[in-house]
A and B are shown apart, each in its own frame.
Chain A
Amino acid sequence: MRDSSMQVETEIERCVASGMCTLLAPEVFDQDEVTGQVVVLVKRPAEEQWEAVDEAVRSCPGQVVRFEEAAEPAGAAEPADAP
Chain B
Amino acid sequence: MSDTLSTPPRRLPTERPRPLDPPEELGRLRAEEPVSPLLYPDGHVGWLVTSHAAARKVLSDQRFSARGDIKKVPFELPSGGRPWEKVPPGFFMHMDPPDHTRYRRLLTGQFTVRRMKALEPRIEQITEEHLDEMERQGPPTDLVPSFALPIPSLAICELLGVPYGERQRFQDHSTTVMRIGSTGEEVAAAFAAIYGLIHELVQLKHKEPEDDLLSGLIATGELDDAELTGIGMLLLMAGHETTASMLSLGTYALLRHPGEVKRLREDPKLFANAVEELMRYLTIAQFGVPRTALEDVELEGKLIKAGDGVTVSLAAANRDPGRFEDADGFDVSRSTSGHMAFSYGIHQCLGQQLARVEMRIAYSALFRRFPELRLAVDADEVPLRAEATMYAASSLPVAW
The chain B residue sitting closest to A55, CB to CB, is: B337
The interface centre, meaning the residue of B112, B346, B356 with most chain A CB atoms within 10 A of its CB, is B112
Quick one: which of B109, B116, B346, B353 contacts A16, CB cutoff 8 A? Answer: B346
Instruction: Report A37-65 CB contacts with B as 1/0, cut-off 8 Å.
Output: 10000000000000000010011011100
**Interface residues in B92-141 (C-beta closer than 8 Å to A):** 104-105, 108-114, 116
Q: Is the CB of A35 within 8 A of B105?
A: yes
A61 touches B108 (CB 8 A): no
Contact A36 B108 (CB under 8 A): yes
Contact A17 B108 (CB under 8 A): yes
Partner among B112, B342, B348 whose Cβ is within 8 Å of the Cβ of A36: B112
Cα-based distance from A38 to B260 in the complex (angstroms):
35
In the complex, how many residues of chain B place their beta carbon closer than 8 angstroms to a beta carbon of chain A? 23
For chain B, residues 307 to 358, give those with C-beta under 8 angstroms from any C-beta of chain A.
337-338, 342-346, 348-349, 352-353, 356
Flag if B113 contacts A61 (CB, 8 Å): no
B326: min CB distance to chain A, Å: 19
Shortest Cβ gap from A59 to chain B (Å): 6
Q: Does A31 lie at the interface of the complex (its beta carbon under 8 Å from any beta carbon of B)? A: yes
CB-based contact A34/B104 at 8 Å: no
Interface residue B60 (Cβ < 8 Å from any Cβ of A): yes
Q: Tell me, in angstroms, the Cα distance from A61 to B111 when the chains sit together.
A: 16
Contacts of B109 in A (CB 8 A): 17, 31-36
B111 CB contacts on chain A under 8 angstroms: 17, 19, 36
**A7 at the B interface (CB under 8 A):** no
Judging by beta carbons under 8 Å apart, are A16 and B108 in contact?
Answer: yes
Interface size on A, residues (CB 8 A): 21
Q: A55-B337, A59-B337 are in contact. Are A31 and B113 (CB under 8 A)?
A: yes
Q: Which residues of A contact B104 (CB under 8 A)?
A: 16-17
Let me know if B348 and A35 touch, CB within 8 A: no
A76 at the interface (CB under 8 A from B): no
Mark contacts of A16-33 with chain B using CB atoms, 8 A cut-off: 1 yes-contact digit, 0 otherwise. 111100110010001111
CA A32 to CA B108, docked complex, whole Å: 10
Residues of chain B from 49 to 80 with CB closer than 8 A to chain A in the complex: 60
Task: Mark contacts of B348-372 with chain A using CB atoms, 8 A cut-off: 1 yes-contact digit, 0 otherwise.
Answer: 1100110010000000000000000
Contact A22–B112 (Cβ < 8 Å): yes
Q: A16 touching B113 by the CB < 8 A rule? A: no
Question: Which A residues are CB-close (under 8 A) to B356?
Answer: 23
Q: How far is the CA of A34 from the CA of B110 in the complex (A)?
A: 8
> Which of chain A's residues have a CB closer than 8 A to the CB of B345?
16, 61-62
Residues B338 and A35 in contact, CB atoms below 8 Å apart? no
Minimum distance in angstroms from B102 CB to a CB of chain A: 13
Q: Are B353 and A61 in contact (CB under 8 A)?
A: no
Residues of A contacting B344 in the complex (Cβ-Cβ under 8 angstroms) = 61
Residues of B within 8 A of A17 (CB): 104, 108-109, 111-112
Looking at the assembled complex, report how far the CB atom of A77 sits from the nearest CB atom of chain B, in whole angstroms. 27
In the A-B complex, the 3 residue pairs with the closest CB atoms: A17-B108, A36-B108, A61-B348
